[in-house]
A = this chain, B = another copy of it.
């Protein structure tokens, strides 16, 4: 049996399609009795209203698009979970696309979502993305847009972020407080705003504490994608370059775990010889040994709040209200574990 149509309901009841259609929309010019009968028949036949027809009328798809750099990643999958849960509460479905950290792909995906007439777009930028025409196009077409985590400061839309600079400062200050004097930083890829801000937070903490800022202690990830292997590579390079390191602040936990694995392999004691602080508080951070001191990054909260801001804009545009873009900064906290001396 294929999908049930209004026609079939009408035939079954011996009334006109218009009456069926009106009855399902609870038009008062159809008698209560008929409306009840139509509703019952429709549900008996398991009738489903045609969303696309509905879309043409209301100009709403009740579908939003989400573009995310990587899916297989604890932080981002937590964000996805938060977005999907919140969207479902409001009756929205979420289309998920992965940009693979590629600017070209990201651009294509924006076009695709716009052509699908989604009600709004949520995006966390690819590491490669340095040009924002595609985002301004979304805005100029009056499609609600919210950026989260990896954002472009100059794009005028609502944003949900953490204060990466402040968090990185906190992480580095902790290393200084426990006595570290030569602190390296694995900053990850060059472009993304959060890499830049974490680096700046690290640098400021050093300067504020009258410690020398030595650029040769900052390791950049060329590959563009932060990985466990990247952490191992950087750590073994660091041990070759500098013998006097006593602390490392690492851009993300996965890389930090890779780095610790390499350090331990090479006989370095953590935290006795080198203290390590990561970023994100991926749950593995508490499980590995030594457990990893890190910055807690609230992925689920970021997802929920990103959808809430998008939903707010969708409603405001529907009511033709003026849109007030909001930048929401979520709190982060330092979680102290065994990878840093107490």
Chain B proximity of A184: nearest CB distance (Å): 21
Interface check A3, CB cutoff 8 A = yes
User: Is A141 a contact of B2 with CB atoms below 8 Å?
Assistant: yes
Which residues does chain B contribute within 8 Å of A46, judged by CB atoms? 137, 141
Interface check A328, CB cutoff 8 A = no
Which residues does chain B contribute within 8 Å of A116, judged by CB atoms? 51, 62-63, 93
CA distance A81 to B62 in the complex (A): 23
Interface check A114, CB cutoff 8 A = yes
Chain B proximity of A15: nearest CB distance (Å): 23
Interface check A98, CB cutoff 8 A = yes
Q: Report copies per complex.
A: 2
User: Is A98 a contact of B84 with CB atoms below 8 Å?
Assistant: yes
Q: Mark A79-111, 1 if CB is under 8 A from B, else 0.
A: 011001100100001111110000000000001
Contact for A71 among B55, B77, B287, CB less than 8 A: B77
Interface check A244, CB cutoff 8 A = no
User: Is A88 a contact of B84 with CB atoms below 8 Å?
Assistant: no
Q: Mark A104-137, 1 if CB is under 8 A from B, else 0.
A: 0000000111111100000000000000000001
Interface check A237, CB cutoff 8 A = no
Interface check A257, CB cutoff 8 A = yes
Beta-carbon nearest neighbor of A70 in chain B:
B81
User: Is A1 a contact of B140 with CB atoms below 8 Å?
Assistant: yes
CA distance A56 to B54 in the complex (A): 11
Beta-carbon nearest neighbor of A117 in chain B:
B51
Contact for A88 among B97, B257, B289, CB less than 8 A: B97
Which residues does chain B contribute within 8 Å of A287, judged by CB atoms? 228, 257, 261, 288
Chain B proximity of A308: nearest CB distance (Å): 18
Q: Can you give 13 A-B contacts (C-beta < 8 A)?
A: A3-B141, A48-B114, A49-B115, A51-B116, A52-B52, A52-B117, A71-B81, A84-B97, A93-B95, A95-B95, A96-B96, A288-B288, A289-B289
